[in-house]
Amino acid sequence: MKKTIFKNSTGGKRGIKFSGSGIDQKPVQELIPENCLKKDGVNLPELTELDVIRYFINLSRQNFSVDTAFYPLGSCTMKYNPKINEQLAALSGFTGIHPEQPEKYSQGALELMYELQKSLAEITGMHKVSLQPAAGAQGEFAGMLIVKKYFESKAEKRTKIIIPDSAHGTNPASAKMCGFDVLKVKSNSRGQVDINELKTLLGNDVAAVMMTNPNTLGIFEEEILEISKIAKEHDILLYYDGANLNAIMGITNPGLMGFDIVHVNLHKTFSAPHGGGGPGSGPIGVTKELTEYLPVPLAEFDGKKYYFDYDFKNSIGKLKPFYGNFGIFVKAYAYILMMGRDGLRKVSEDAVLNANYLKEKLKNDYLLPYDLVCMHEFVFSGDIQKKQGVNTVGIAKRLMDFNIHPPTVYFPLIVSESMMIEPTETETKETLDNFIDIMKQIAEQIKTNPGQVAESPINSPVSRVDEVAASRKPVLKYSGSHI
């Protein structure tokens, strides 16, 4: 581990020297009451300006990002974020407005939100979209609140939500947080919802079925129309987790599949950066029947001016201060305009083509549990390599030695030693071929010298970390001994 900046400190060095202010100096004790004074020095590192610059530049170079190398993170669409998005979001007209500013002085921002709502409604096949939720998980939460309120207003007591076993963990968590019981439905041998099992679970105590399509195995649910038909026969609502929208844009949409509520992740499909805890945005769209339940406000247009509409009869209320994460709206809207209708369709086509290319080229080296045409991502199992002495963590760490970010591992939970690979549409054939080559080399190394692979990573700033200790015993408090 590199030294911290505190350990690099040598007494007496300075970065900046102020020239005299012309004001008489007085001891601090004369200006601040004794009991308010810090007793034991401020303990700041003392270094030259150049020391500080080098320290932070070198630290920043230890970051890995989609801007530095290949990043095949499945079910997250960690795609390249076009730089023009940043430039547009940084325009002073956007950064300088205040959320309390009167609507007549925020017409441009309102227009952008209105147009974004409309574009997302068209892309998802929904009637109206609210931009309130701060991320996909909050969109799900909003969706579950809508489901709840909808059945309450019909005086129906429905307490259960059906969720496939391949779902992202936020799905059952959101349902549970809204007070629902979660029923799990198994996947069949084709990695899709087992419709016969689903039928046994449907009843008039079920409020909604939450699905991701393509699902988290990267497989399109072939029986989705049948599923939505039988759900509707029981008056059950269908919720669409839109995290995998990158696979279907402009080709089909959740509305056509029979879904009633949809969230999209602007920070995934629509190229706003995410990761590192940065802000997200998870707009939620609904059918006409559910519009009155949407979280407010929505941006509206009366033919002359744009305004915020809070007037929704059964709204679940607000989820976010003000209007949502506006900077993300600018980036997503810029991306949608830049791509256009045809461009968005091409995004999905290329994302699917790239994933299938990798899958086909590597499926003789790694176990492919569901050997179907995939959508934008697919899931390998590391079971063959595990028998040879290296588990999926080992493969992931070895990739780091080749300057490639590991894919999502150990998710979805229904595939043992899973590796979920999503190249996205922006990668070139050369990058994909390089990845194929490296994955083949790793498989070969595991066959011939598993002990060596198990020591990876050897080229990264830190080698194997104790991940369990890091999550179970995080050191969150400042303490002199850690610096």
Structure tokens belonging to residue 356: 């299938």
Structure tokens belonging to residue 223: 């029986």
Q: How far is the CB of 168 from ligand PLP (least distance, A)?
A: 3
Q: How far is the CB of 276 from ligand PLP (least distance, A)?
A: 12
Residues 324 to 383: which contact ligand PLP by CB under 6 A? none
CB count, 10 Å around CB of 395?
A: 26
Exposed e or buried b per residue across 420-445, where buried means at least 16 C-beta atoms within 10 angstroms of its C-beta:
bbbbbbbbeeebbebbbebbeebbeb
CB count, 10 Å around CB of 350?
A: 16
Site size toward ligand PLP (CB under 6 A) is 14
CB count, 10 Å around CB of 215?
A: 24
Residues 120 to 139: which contact ligand PLP by CB under 6 A? 135-137
Nearer to ligand PLP among residue 355 and residue 390 (C-beta): 355
Locate tokens 């979001």: which residue?
A: 89
Q: State the Cα angle at 56 between 50 and 60, rounded to 5°.
A: 140
In the set 280, 297, 324, 423, which binds ligand PLP (CB under 6 A)? 280
In the set 76, 145, 375, 396, which binds ligand PLP (CB under 6 A)? 76
Residues 214 to 233: which contact ligand PLP by CB under 6 A? 216
Q: How far is the CB of 135 from ligand PLP (least distance, A)?
A: 4
CA of 441: how far to CAs of 379, 390, 393, 412, 446, in Å?
A: 19, 14, 16, 25, 9
Alpha-carbon gap, residue 429 to 445, rounded angstroms:
24
Q: Is 212 in the site for ligand PLP (CB under 6 A)?
A: yes
Q: How far is the CB of 180 from ligand PLP (least distance, A)?
A: 17
Q: How far is the CB of 43 from ligand PLP (least distance, A)?
A: 38
Nearer to ligand PLP among residue 128 and residue 268 (C-beta): 268
Please provide the distance, in angstroms rounded to a whole number, between the alpha carbons at the two ends of the chain.
12
Q: Could you tell me if 375 and 248 are in contact, meaning their C-beta atoms sit under 8 angstroms apart? A: yes
Residues 166 to 185: which contact ligand PLP by CB under 6 A? 168, 170
**Helix axis angle, 136-153 to 170-177, nearest 10°:** 40
Q: Which residue is nearest to ligand PLP (CB)?
A: 136
Q: How far is the CB of 80 from ligand PLP (least distance, A)?
A: 17
Nearer to ligand PLP among residue 279 and residue 369 (C-beta): 279
In the set 193, 211, 243, 284, which binds ligand PLP (CB under 6 A)? 243
Q: Could you tell me if 242 and 136 are in contact, meaning their C-beta atoms sit under 8 angstroms apart? A: yes
In the set 150, 219, 241, 367, which binds ligand PLP (CB under 6 A)? 241
- According to DSSP, residue 113 is labeled H
Q: How far is the CB of 110 from ligand PLP (least distance, A)?
A: 24
Q: Which positions touch ligand PLP (CB under 6 A)?
A: 75-76, 135-137, 168, 170, 212, 216, 241, 243, 265, 280, 282
